[in-house]
């Protein structure tokens, strides 16, 4: 784990089995490569790795670079100055139409138009950042272009409470796959500083890369590689192609009873959320617990507002509530419980039907009387059977994720160990995924 001394790490790596996080292994490898002598190294040879949630690490995060960086020159004032110019630029809504920049949402890129190029140069001249008659594309002004690009991406592509949150006057990235915050991680190429300028928090120094490796390249250094996950089969080709690993499907311990219902598609997001609220109300009437999966903090809070209007009691689990995660998950399986969660409640979360008996007993303490303990168990058994009779845990997806494995992980919270359960995804043509990939013809058919 992080924070250990070199001696402690060397002893841990000297053991027959070393258990740790992928980040720590990767950073230790980089630090060993920067060590001045062999005696300063902590790792042994990379022989055999067993990876938990292998698809998350070898596919979702495969190209995530682990970077050890050092301070570079300070240009925070330039980020702040360029940030003031971006709101004055106009987005191009149709190809060849008027506007200063176009947005390619699929590739997550922004391109200046001819008109925008001239407008930006005028604005930079007025701000005193560009000499009169100079071009933005002159070799001496490449740095300005870099800052402008970062500021545009920060304003247009990166949204607060979706891609990041502001916490203690700092920008904290939210992992798109797990929905968790990643304190200490920073975007590269000046993007993080541009987001800091946009949100008006302290702009930290830029860093320069001293050592870097991706998870994909790091784990391919092992002589033998293996792992397990509940959602590898859809990526079997990729595992074979990139890592030379075969995927073996192991049948479930007990037969699967979950009913995965067909997706429902609506024309607008408003209609979609109205249908979700109706589904939640129906579940509450029959005392069936519901887990509602959202793709961002923003949507989880919006849905929470809608439920408050309907006076439906619920819990919200997102990166802002991570301190209460264990408590919320422990209660999520109780009869009639409604839990709204980001991807945090997907991978690796076990929701016990009827609520967590273990958590309840732990809360009562060790001094508990055996008779009282038995009463708690009996009450839990009653709740457990009530939830089973109501149909088990019902999963509602508020939109599809770019990776279908994330959707499968959400579905997999229900119907565990042969329990009953159900799931359904609600989509609208206003969802970002549908907007980018669905054609106008689909909207025509819907109308």
Q: With the CA atoms of 405, 408, 410 and 414 taken in that order, what torsion angle do they form, in degrees rounded to the nearest 10? A: -160
| Within a domain: 253 | no
Could you read off the pLDDT of 103-162 as tens digits, one per residue? 888 788 898 888 988 999 889 888 888 888 788 888 888 888 889 999 999 999 999 988
Residues 280 and 409 in one domain: yes
Q: Which is it for the CA torsion 400, 278, 332, 419, positive or negative?
A: negative
Which has more confidence, 201 or 418?
201
* Domain identity same for 166 and 295: no
Q: Are residues 271 and 352 in the same domain?
A: yes
Residue 279 confidence (pLDDT) above 80: yes
Alpha-carbon gap, residue 150 to 79, rounded angstroms: 9
Residue numbers of the domain that contains 221:
6-70+210-243
Give me Rg for the CA atoms of the chain: 26
Structural tokens at position 126:
């007025």
State the DSSP string of 123-167. HHHHTTSS-TT--TTSGGGHHHHHHHHHHHHHHHT--BTTTEEEE
Residue 250 belongs to some domain of the structure: no
pLDDT score of 74: 64
Same domain, 132 and 167: yes
**Using N-to-C axis directions, what is the helix angle for 191-199 and 142-156, rounded to 10°?**
60
Do 431 and 352 lie in a common domain? yes
The H or E element spanning position 340 is strand 338-341
Residue 15 lies in a domain: yes
> Rounded to whole angstroms, how far apart are CA atoms 186 and 190?
9
d(CA 305, CA 164): 20
Average pLDDT over residues 30-34: 92
Inside any domain, residue 252: no
**Same-domain status, 20 and 139:** no
Angle between helices 297-309 and 269-285 (to 10 degrees): 60
Instruction: Quote the CA–CA distance of 341 and 344 in Å, as a whole number.
Output: 7
- Give the list of residues 6+ apart from residue 14 with CB closer than 8 angstroms, or none: 44
**232 and 312 together in one domain:** no
Query: Domain for residue 248, yes or no?
Result: no
| Domain CATH for 111 | 3.90.1440.10
């Amino acid at each position: 784990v992080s924070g250990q001394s070199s001696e402690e790490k060397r002893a841990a790596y000297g053991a027959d089995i070393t258990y740790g996080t992928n980040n720590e292994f990767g950073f230790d490898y980089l630090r060993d490569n920067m060590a001045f002598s062999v005696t300063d190294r902590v790792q042994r040879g990379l022989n055999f790795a067993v990876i938990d949630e292998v698809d998350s690490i070898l596919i979702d995060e495969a190209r995530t670079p682990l970077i050890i960086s050092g301070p570079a020159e300070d240009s925070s004032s330039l980020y702040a100055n360029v940030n003031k110019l971006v709101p004055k630029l106009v987005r191009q809504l149709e190809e060849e139409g008027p506007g200063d920049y176009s947005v390619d949402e699929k590739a997550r890129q922004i391109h200046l138009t001819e008109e925008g190029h001239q407008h930006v140069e005028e604005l930079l001249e007025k701000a005193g950042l560009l000499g009169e008659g100079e071009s933005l594309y002159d070799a001496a002004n490449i740095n300005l272009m870099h800052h402008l690009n970062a500021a545009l991406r920060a304003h247009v592509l990166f949204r607060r409470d979706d891609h990041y949150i502001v916490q203690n006057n700092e920008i904290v990235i939210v992992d798109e796959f797990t929905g968790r915050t990643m304190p200490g991680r920073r975007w590269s190429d000046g993007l993080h500083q541009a987001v800091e300028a946009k949100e008006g928090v302290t702009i930290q120094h830029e860093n320069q890369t001293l050592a870097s490796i991706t998870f994909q390249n790091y784990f391919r250094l092992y002589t033998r590689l293996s792992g397990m996950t509940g959602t590898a089969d859809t990526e079997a080709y990729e595992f074979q192609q990139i890592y030379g690993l075969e995927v073996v499907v192991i049948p479930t311990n007990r037969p699967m009873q979950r009913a995965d219902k067909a997706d429902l598609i609506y024309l607008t997001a408003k209609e979609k959320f109205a249908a979700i609220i109706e589904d939640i109300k129906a579940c509450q009437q029959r005392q069936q617990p519901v887990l509602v999966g959202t793709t961002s903090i923003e949507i989880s809070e919006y849905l929470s507002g809608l439920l408050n209007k309907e006076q439906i009691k619920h819990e919200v689990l997102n990166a802002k509530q991570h301190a209460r995660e264990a408590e919320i998950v422990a209660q999520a399986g109780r009869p009639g419980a409604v839990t709204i969660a980001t991807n945090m409640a997907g991978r690796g979360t076990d929701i016990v039907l009827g609520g967590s008996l273990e958590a309840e007993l732990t809360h009562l303490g060790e001094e508990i009387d055996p008779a009282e303990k038995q009463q708690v168990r009996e009450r839990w058994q009653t709740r457990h059977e009530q939830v089973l009779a109501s149909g088990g845990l019902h999963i509602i997806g508020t939109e599809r994720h770019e990776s279908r494995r994330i959707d499968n992980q959400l579905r997999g919270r229900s119907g565990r160990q042969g329990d009953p359960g159900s799931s359904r995804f609600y989509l609208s043509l206003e969802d970002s995924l549908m907007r980018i990939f669905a054609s106008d013809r689909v909207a025509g058919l819907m109308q």
